[in-house]
Structure 1
Amino acid sequence: MTNLHPYPQLHAGRDEPILDAELAIIDSAHHLFDRPALRYMFEDYLTDVRAGHRIVASIFVETLAFSRSDGPELLRPLGEVEFANGIGAMSASGAYGDCRICAGIIGNADLRFGDQVGELLDQALARAPERFRGVRQITIEDESDAPFRYVTNRPARGIMKHPKFRAGFREVVARGLTFDAAVFHHQLDEIARLADAFPDGSIVLNHVGQAMAMDLDAQGRADVFKKLRASLRELGRRPNITCKIGGLGLPFWGFGFEKRADPVGYLELAAAWKPYVEAAIEAFGPERCMMESNYPPDGRAAGFVPLWNALKHIVRDASADEKAALFRRTAARVYRLSVQD
């Protein structure tokens, strides 16, 4: 039986015991939006935060939600930055608990505007000086149309090869901001070239490099994993790249959990995700990896409680110092957060 809810596991597993309950977590990527298919706003994320895991802060990442509907196209992403900054201010009041939701903000920017992007970045910094930490521009591409049925805003092809892209990227680097890179595994060589061209730039690889293995058999998925692992090792040689571990609930990986109507527990998730998590940590080391919920999109395959339980279970043999880096310290350093444990 196939569950027709767009995120069938969104509320699953809240009765699971919380593993390592005292471990402080900075959720390095989540989203808030209000769309016809799903509404996931402050109160929804707050409910998940209160489900048992010790989330002390979170990083809001753009989805082009709440962008301005008019005005210069370059500046329309400011609407989402202003929205997230308001949520951050609400959370910082302490009225909703100890977790600092939207403590960091990753906004959207179309780097094809070249050096004009500087105006957008300066205005975002002016509007959210305590929280605006960088930008993301989704650049996923694939020969198949299959993955894009799960994407709200399909990006144009060839964005990173656009003649003005690097001029826009230079504006990000000049302000000490991060660039969150969202690609598929077969595009990781482009991220390597970008990192080499801007050794002072901070690039955060989203979702373990996002293997595109939909609709493949076991051998096909194994071949994709082999290529992904090799690419991660190559990227790991570049000290200006860090890696977010998460996004494993997305359909692209080919695990098939999004087709399940019954709750998926953390042990099953951990068994499927373990090779990919270990490949990222092997390539970058704990000090350059950060855990993420990628909620609510990962709710397609994993409940919030099982998701974090699975990530904790996979690294259960790591030292306390390594766990601190994976779950909190790397995100705090990269996104310049001052968060109390």
Structure 2
Amino acid sequence: MATLVGTVPSIIDARVHFFDPRTPPWSLQRIGRASVPVLRALPRPLLWIASQFTQEHSLSGIAGPGLLARRYQLADYTKDLAGLQSVAGVPVSAVIPVDSQWRRRQSAEDSPEAFQRDLDHLLAQPYGVDGMPRLGGVIVPLDERAVGLGVRRLLDEDDDDLIRGVRLRWARHPDPLVHDWTSTPDAFATAHVERVLPDLIRRGLVIETLCYSHQLGELVEVADRYPEATFVVEHLGLPAGVFGPVGNSTGATAAARADILNLWRERMAMLAARPNVLVKISAIASPILGYGNEKSGNIGGQHILADMIGPLVLHVVDRFGPRRVIFGSNAPLDGHNASIGVTVGALLDVLGDRGEYLLAHLFYENARRVYRVDDAATPDAGSAET
């Protein structure tokens, strides 16, 4: 089995979450998870109406049972790296955390101060202490709430230049039990986003986007509109239900899953023709892809994960090339189905025979270049390619 020994000095994990649901702004509505079986039993018209009153119901599709109710910090992440060394042969030297606010709609907690608390929480982790990974930079939210609530202020007050990108969560799905990340039909066309986006691009910030695969065609138009920007598509373009049923009826039949896969392949090929678009190979064990809903792991191990995710990963790598793919563990949200070691091992199984150049860029070089990860955050970075 392939390892990363001699290929990279370490791994840069470009997608992790740190959160504490006991405190704002992560306090979630606990009714959500318990309401899912009841919601599924409703007729479709009533299902849509009920879903609007239980806004966190579909969060059960993005993480394992009970995970979002537990605190997750850098120390927990470091424990979850156990077993990675034996698989990859190298450690994780730096992480790039993203905001972990899962609430979809505006609330009293949505204020510039709330977003500042989120950023402060990310920055307060003990990076680099006792062998824990260093901080490579942070990604802050850019949605209909955050844009109007001081994203520019966060950037202007970022004296240490640690904000490396902004993240627009514009995923909306016609299935009422698949989570909507926004209530805005076209997030990129909102007055707030259109007003602030050019300024963010001029600042050299990466524009990360979270959308479902059927929305990727819209991103093609945005990438053409801003050719000077760097866009990163999260989670392989998120083809919800591609492996099995999720939500109410998404991916419920083989024919439906084939349609999801075919549309995803077509849209990713279109995006690959835009040189300013990269793909984050993250969330490859996410429940939302349709692996199953058992309380214990739903995949069965590294080799099964490699067999399932392999065609998607290879399609992305073949179209985007080695310099436009970035690894992210999505910890801890995928931990229910696969550990970080299993996730990395599955990718090595899929891509090991593609050569060291691809592996070096996927796991290290591209994240260091795109997110401007400081040399001090990575070992032997001075010898790495820029």
- TM score, norm. by length of structure 1: 0.83
| Aligned-partner residue type, residue 100 of structure 2 | T
Question: Could you tell me which of 318, 330, 333 is aligned with 2:369?
Answer: 333
User: Does the residue aligned with 1:290 lie in a helix, a strand or coil?
Assistant: strand
Alignment partner of 1:57 out of 89, 94, 103: 94
Contact 2:306 2:350 in 1 (8 A): yes
Is residue 267–residue 310 contact of structure 1 (8 Å, CA) maintained in 2? yes
Aligned mate of 1:34, from 20, 25, 36: 20
Whether 1:155 aligns to 2:189 is no
CA-CA distance at 1:287 after TM superposition: 0.5
Partner amino acid, structure 2, of 1:181:
T
Runs of 4+ in 1 over 6 A off after TM superposition: 69-72
Structure 2 contact 84–340 (Cα < 8 Å) conserved: no
Gaps of 5+ in 1: 1-17
Contact 2:303–2:346 (CA under 8 A) maintained in structure 1: yes
Contact 1:179 1:203 (C-alpha < 8 Å) held by counterparts? yes
Cα distance in 2 for partners of 1:60, 1:181 equals 15
Aligned to 1:135: 166
Q: Hey, what's the Cα distance between the residues in 2 that align with 1:31 and 1:182?
A: 15
- Does residue 292 in structure 1 map to residue 319 in structure 2? no
Partner residue, 1:15: none
Note the C-alpha offset of 1:106.
0.1
The answer to whether structure 1 residue 83 and structure 2 residue 121 are counterparts is yes
The answer (yes or no) to whether the contact 1:112–1:168 under 8 Å persists in 2 is no
**How far did 1:249 drift?**
1.9
SS in 1 for 2:12: strand
SS in 2 for 1:147: coil
Q: Distance in 2 between matches of 1:259 and 1:325?
A: 35
Pick aligned residue for 1:206 from 229, 234, 255? 234
Match of 1:226 in 2: 262
Please list the CA deviations of residues 150-186 of structure 1 after superposition, one character each: whole Å capped at 9, or x if unmatched.
x7xx421322332332222122112111111000001
- 2:43 corresponds in structure 1 to none
- Deviation, 1:72, is 7.7
- Please report how far the alpha carbon of residue 41 of structure 1 lies from its aligned counterpart in structure 2 after TM superposition: 1.1
SS at match of 1:299: coil
Map of 1:261-340 to 2, 5 A cutoff? 261=296, 264-337=300-373, 338=375, 339-340=378-379
Shift of 1:130: 3.7
> Do the aligned partners of 2:144 and 2:193 also contact (CA within 8 Å) in 1?
yes
Alpha-carbon contact 1:74-1:110 (below 8 Å) kept:
no
Report the CA distance shift for 1:128/1:275 in structure 2 as closer, same or farther (over 3 A).
farther
Q: How far apart are the structure 1 equivalents of 2:229 and 2:356?
A: 29
Give the TM-score taking structure 2 as reference length.
0.74
Which has a greater percent of strand? 1
Q: What is the CA–CA distance in structure 2 between the aligned matches of 1:40 and 1:247, rounded to whole Å? A: 17
1:259 partner amino acid: E
> What is the aligned partner in structure 1 of residue 52 from structure 2?
none
Cα deviation for residue 75 of structure 1 reads 5.4
Instruction: Give structure 2 stretches of 5+ with no counterpart.
Output: 23-68, 86-90, 381-386
Shift of residue 286 of structure 1?
Answer: 1.2
Q: Match of 2:27?
A: none
The structure with more radius of gyration: 2
CA contact (8 A) 1:244 1:289 kept: yes
Quickly say closer, same or farther: Cα 1:75–1:168, change in 2 above 3 A. Answer: farther
Deviations 1:176-197 (A, max 9, x none): 1111100000111111111111
Residue by residue, what CA displacement relative to the aligned partner does 1:209-259 show, whole Å, maximum 9, x if unpaired? Answer: 000223422232122111111111110111111110021222222232x42
Q: CA offset at residue 50 of structure 1?
A: 4.3
Q: Does 2:276 match 1:237?
A: no
For residue 76 of structure 2, what is the aligned residue in structure 1? 44
Report the CA distance between 1:110 and its aligned residue: 2.9
Letter in 1 for 2:93: V
CA RMSD of the aligned region, Å?
2.6
Q: Distance in 2 between matches of 1:135 and 1:275?
A: 29
User: Does structure 1 conserve the Cα–Cα contact (< 8 Å) formed by 2:81 and 2:341?
Assistant: no
Partner of 1:97: 131
Whether contact under 8 Å (1:139, 1:157) holds in the other structure is yes
1:140 partner amino acid = A
